[in-house]
């Protein structure tokens, strides 16, 4: 008996169906390979990658940057270095990246001040949105209201009572004009109806010596930065700025609990590249960074430091920034902040 000829196979409708299905499957595979090639740049990174932290070491954005430095170096086989460029309410370091080559080898991790600065300063060296390519949001972090353990204040109520009886005598430290630390303190001032003097520093950790020595009365600082001093006994935590208490410091009340109903403030962070960075490189950065940040061990480690991992697509991150700019404008109007 003769084997069926090619012509007889093709003339069989069932064989046509199987052949067509096979061709479709092959076409889909080829399309997927082609699409993957278009969204990946095999030459990236071609040299060391720099993550600029526009603040002093020790805060949340620094912690995230250093973790990414270690993990990305292992993934890419190329050095990923952290460069701290503090000062100028985080604008100095951010501007370095804004003006870097748009090739993905220089990125910056910004905090809430990125959305606040346009409303705190008459001039900024860059546009908060147009001069950047958005990679991903990285985290949110609560703040802790802390004072030196040498001061007599054991509660927020005692602090407010003293501030009201002595207008202008107490001061608060921040990591610079227009940062989330200043916003938290200004919101506290408005809601507690107290008069506090603002003392800006080049990063929150730069303020710690004066706060711990009680030369500056208090600070609203990120949990990762200030909690080690609270744990050591050098500082006293009075409250947290979020809606719920912190798992790492469950004995600290929220400001809402101690009389400032509705008070809520936190900081956040995310990664930016210079505007004009090719989309395929932005996609590679997003994919590698999100994979690292969402791994269970990283989520657990950051949670233990008081940092909540939050990631996003580039488009979601840019939309978040636009929304935060709107909130910052409303806040500046509400508390009467005049740009410097």
Residue 16 confidence (pLDDT): 46
Alpha carbons within 13 angstroms on the beta-carbon side of residue 288 total 23
Q: What is the pLDDT of residue 243?
A: 87
Listed in order, the ranges of the chain carrying CATH 3.40.190.10 are: 142-266
| Fold (CATH) for 49-140+267-335 | D-Maltodextrin-Binding Protein; domain 2 (3.40.190)
Q: Which of 152, 148, 187, 183 is nearest to 166 (CA)?
A: 152
Scanning the structure block, which residue is given the tokens 């001040």?
Answer: 113
Residue 42 has a pLDDT of: 75
Residue partners of 215: CB distance under 8 A and separation at least 6: none
Q: What is the pLDDT of residue 202?
A: 85
Grouping H, G, I as helix, E, B as strand and the rest as coil, residue 46 is coil
How do the pLDDT tens digits run along the chain, 340 residues long? 444 443 333 445 555 455 455 554 545 444 444 444 444 567 899 999 999 999 989 889 999 999 999 999 999 999 999 999 998 889 999 999 999 999 999 999 999 999 999 998 999 999 999 999 999 999 999 999 999 999 999 999 999 999 999 999 999 999 887 788 998 999 999 999 999 999 999 889 999 999 999 999 999 999 989 999 999 999 999 999 998 899 889 999 999 999 999 998 889 999 999 999 999 999 999 999 999 999 999 999 999 888 999 999 999 999 999 999 998 898 888 778 888 8
SS3 assignment, position 261: coil
Within 10 Å of residue 172's Cβ, how many Cβ atoms? 26
Report the alpha-carbon distance of residue 33 to residue 54 in Å, rounded: 39
326 to each of 22, 115, 132, 252, how far by Cα in Å?
52, 9, 18, 31
Burial of 303 (0-12, 13-18, 19+ CB in 10 A): middle
- Rounded Cα distance between 281 and 274, Å, is 12
Gap between the Cα atoms of 142 and 226, Å rounded = 11
- Phi, then psi, of 52 in degrees rounded to 5: -85, 130
Whole-angstrom distance, CA of residue 321 vs CA of residue 315: 10
Between helix 223-232 and helix 204-212 the angle, nearest 10°, is 20
| pLDDT tens-place string over residues 242-282 | 988 998 899 999 999 999 999 988 899 999 999 999 999 99
Kind of pairing between the strands at 80-84 and 49-53: parallel
At residue 11, the pLDDT reads 47
| Terminal C-alpha separation, the chain | 95
Could you tell me the CA-to-CA distances from 85 to 15, 52, 152 in Å, in that order?
Answer: 67, 7, 36
CATH architecture of 142-266: 3-Layer(aba) Sandwich (3.40)
Of the candidates 340, 339, 306, 331, the residue with the CA atom closest to the CA atom of residue 183 = 331
Q: Where in the chain is the domain with CATH 3.40.190.150?
A: 49-140+267-335
Amino acid 338: pLDDT:
81
Q: For 303, what's the count of Cα atoms within 13 Å in the CB-facing half-sphere? A: 8
pTM of the full predicted structure?
0.75
Instruction: Tell me what pLDDT residue 24 has.
Output: 47
Structure tokens at 300: 């657990």
Collect all residues with Cβ–Cβ distance below 8 Å to 59 and sequence separation of at least 6.
Answer: 111, 175, 203, 204, 205, 221, 222, 224, 225
Exposure b/e, 145-170, CB count within 10 A at least 16 = b: bbbbbebebeebeebbebbeeeeeeb
Answer whether 142's CB lies under 8 Å from 302's CB: no
């Amino acid at each position: 008996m003769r084997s069926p000829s090619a012509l007889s196979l093709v003339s069989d409708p069932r064989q046509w169906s199987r052949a067509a299905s096979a061709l479709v499957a092959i076409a889909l595979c080829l399309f997927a390979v082609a699409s993957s090639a278009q969204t990946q740049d095999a030459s990236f990174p071609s040299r060391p990658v720099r993550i600029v932290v526009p603040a002093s070491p020790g805060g949340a954005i620094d912690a995230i940057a250093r973790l990414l430095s270690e993990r990305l170096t292992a993934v890419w086989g190329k050095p990923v270095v952290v460069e701290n460029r503090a000062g100028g309410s985080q604008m100095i370091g951010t501007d370095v990246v804004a003006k870097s080559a748009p090739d993905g080898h220089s990125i910056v991790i910004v905090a809430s001040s990125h959305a606040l600065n346009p409303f705190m300063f008459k001039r900024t060296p860059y546009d908060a949105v147009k001069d950047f390519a958005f990679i991903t949001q990285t985290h949110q972090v609560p703040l802790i209201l802390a004072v030196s353990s040498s001061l007599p204040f054991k509660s927020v109520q005692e602090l407010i009572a003293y501030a009201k009886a002595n207008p202008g005598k107490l001061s608060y430290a921040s990591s610079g004009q227009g940062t989330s630390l200043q916003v938290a303190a200004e919101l506290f001032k408005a809601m507690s109806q107290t008069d506090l003097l603002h003392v800006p520093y080049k990063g929150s950790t730069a303020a710690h010596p004066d706060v711990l020595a009680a030369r500056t009365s208090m600070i609203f600082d990120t949990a990762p930065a200030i909690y080690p001093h609270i744990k050591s006994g050098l500082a006293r935590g009075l409250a947290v700025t979020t809606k719920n208490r912190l798992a790492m410091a469950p004995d600290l009340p929220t400001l809402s609990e101690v009389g400032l109903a509705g008070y809520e403030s936190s900081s956040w962070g995310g990664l930016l590249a210079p505007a004009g960075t090719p989309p395929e490189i932005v996609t590679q950065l997003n994919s590698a960074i999100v994979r690292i940040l969402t791994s269970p061990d990283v989520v657990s480690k950051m949670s233990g430091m008081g940092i909540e991992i939050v990631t996003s697509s580039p488009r979601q991150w840019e939309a978040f920034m636009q929304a935060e700019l709107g909130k910052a404008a409303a806040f500046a109007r509400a508390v009467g902040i005049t740009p410097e």
